[in-house]
Amino acid sequence: MASLNFDLTGKVAIVTGGTGGLGLAIAEAMLDAGAKVAVGSRKPEKVAAALETLSEGRPEGSVLSTQLDVADRASVDAAVAKVVETFGRVDILVNNAGANLKKPTLDVEEAEHKQLFDINYFGPFYMAQAFARQCIAQGKPDEDASGGGGYSIVNVCSVTSFLALSEVTTYAATKGALLALTRQLAVEWPRLYGIRINAVAPGFVPAEQNRKILESGDRGRRILECTPMQRFGTAEEIAGAAVFLVSPAARFINGECINVDGGFMIHGVSDSMKPIE
């Protein structure tokens, strides 16, 4: 029986929002698995810092960091072209770039609603189109010859793709739409272009934008009470699921969303779960 293959040697991955937090962890995990990786961000200072961080201890020429605004189709096309110019091809796309908004729904302004959709839904849509066009130009992969896996897209969804949380209506709507996009493309693109499309739904991972709420507020306490594993997640744990989904080990997984949440989404009504001392 053939062993599972998580090796990404020879693959080229693009990770949007890959200059910090979860995106940076995913980029590092892809590099550790043998891929060449391109990361993008709207902010030049983050682009430069990510290149320095990811390049440390890596073979020369394995990392590309570029300015990228996923909500701007021209920026998307230019970034993909730069990746191809540098590495010669693309194989993997991780749509990680995103934004959040916690606000009472009646107070959400039209511009805020549209901005989140531009970043969280249209951004991945534009990236997927540009990625697929390049894959078509490269040719449909011969899975037997390449060791399996073919081309692959992973969309970073959310627990709010499935569940309702208070005062994040616009964010949840964008992530629900992204899950629907994942499933639609997974029906259409594997047969035509050899591209598998899956998603990960991270649980609650403390990061710059939410750390204060999760670690000191009542919301964080209630999340832990509903998480069987009784802790928050880490970016590295989400990254592991992303690497699995794009690897040959997952060659027959398509249209799925892996929930990496410590059991949060399967928790129903049970005895009170106070944090274990």
In whole numbers, what is the pLDDT of the chain averaged over residues?
A: 92
Q: What is the CATH number of domain 12-261?
A: 3.40.50.720
Catalytic residues: 171
User: What pLDDT sits at residue 1?
Assistant: 43
User: What pLDDT sits at residue 146?
Assistant: 46
Region 231-237: mean pLDDT is 95
Q: What is the pLDDT of residues 73-104, one digit of tens each?
A: 999 999 999 999 999 999 999 999 999 998 99
Nearest CA to 162 out of 177, 176, 174 is that of 176
User: What pLDDT sits at residue 209?
Assistant: 67
Query: What pTM, to 2 d.p., does this model score?
Result: 0.93
Region 18-34: mean pLDDT is 96
CB contact at 8 A, 234 and 21:
no
45 alpha-carbon distance from chain centroid: 22
User: What pLDDT sits at residue 127?
Assistant: 98
pLDDT band at 192 (very low <50, low <70, confident <90, very high): very high
Hey, CA dihedral for 114, 127, 15, 181, is it positive or negative? positive
Dihedral pair phi/psi, residue 259, rounded to 5°: -85, 120
pLDDT band at 145 (very low <50, low <70, confident <90, very high): very low
Region 116-125: mean pLDDT is 98
Q: What is the pLDDT of residues 40-54, one digit of tens each?
A: 999 999 999 999 999
Q: Over 80: is that where the pLDDT of 206 sits? A: yes
Domain boundaries, the chain: 12-261
CB contact at 8 A, 71 and 141:
no
Q: Over 80: is that where the pLDDT of 212 sits? A: no
